[in-house]
Structure 1
Amino acid sequence: MSGFEARTLRDADSLVVALAGDCDLDSRDEMTAALVDAVRSSRTVMVDLADVGFLDSSGLHALVTAHHAALERGGVLHVVNVTGAVATVLEITGILELLRPPTPRQADQRD
């Protein structure tokens, strides 16, 4: 899979941005725009990475930019369905720990 696509879906409690294809320099601007638009319209944004086959530093930059935009608005951005090489990149860089949704136990401790 090489092209890039961002679909936004409304969930009961959040906005889901489903990404597909390669998250790289070619798609960085489109990815950043989709994620920042999402955090502007919802306090909770879930980024579904199930169909992402490749993620480089440009994709990481888009995720971190959107994360900061969410924080500025008092919101959150989390990544879900992270597997394979994409999970490895996110783990190595520490971004997975930053953007992983809280477990139910962690959520209970915050309340």
Structure 2
Amino acid sequence: MPHRAGAITVGTDAGRTVVRLRGDVDASLRDEASRALAVALTDGAPVLLDLGEVAFIDSTGIAFLIQCRRACEQTGQACTLRDVPESTRYVLGLLGLDELVGG
């Protein structure tokens, strides 16, 4: 499988902080993920994790989703996932983390 360069960007939309994950979400994005999480927690707005353009996600990417959810819980911010690829849903289910996607 060819590697698709991944990216994590943060923006705002309708009063929410939107964290978009794209391409291969893996260990190469560790620093980018840390910066994105810091930005997402800054203004206290609800956080939306958009996974609609994720081609692949490894354990580092799954850990980022969990870390973001837990950090939002600690700061009282809502955190939801949108457009979760079926392969990612499957992995979250295997790990017993269905609640991350509302399942």
Instruction: Work out whether the TM-score is over 0.5.
Output: yes
For 1:51 and 1:9, the matched residues in 2 are separated by 15
Change (3 A) 1:79 1:96: farther
Kindly report structure 1 stretches of 4+ aligned residues shifted beyond 3 Å: none
- The one-letter code sitting in structure 1 at the alignment partner of 2:14 is A
1:69-99 CA-to-partner distances (Å, cap 9, x unmatched) read 11111112211101232222122223342x2
For 1:39 and 1:95, the matched residues in 2 are separated by 22
Identity of aligned residues (%): 31
Aligned residue number for residue 35 of structure 1: 37
For 2:42 and 2:8, the matched residues in 1 are separated by 16
Change (3 A) 1:86 1:100: closer
TM superposition score normalised by structure 1: 0.76
Q: CA RMSD in A?
A: 2.0
- Pick aligned residue for 1:3 from 2, 5, 11: 5
- Pick aligned residue for 1:44 from 46, 51, 68: 46
TM superposition score normalised by structure 2: 0.81
Unaligned runs of 5+ in 2: none
For 1:96 and 1:32, the matched residues in 2 are separated by 23
Unaligned runs of 5+ in 1: 103-111
- State whether structure 2 residue 60 is matched by structure 1 residue 24: no
1:40-95 CA-to-partner distances (Å, cap 9, x unmatched) read 32331000001011111111111111112111111122111012322221222233
- The one-letter code sitting in structure 2 at the alignment partner of 1:100 is V
How many equivalent residue pairs?
101
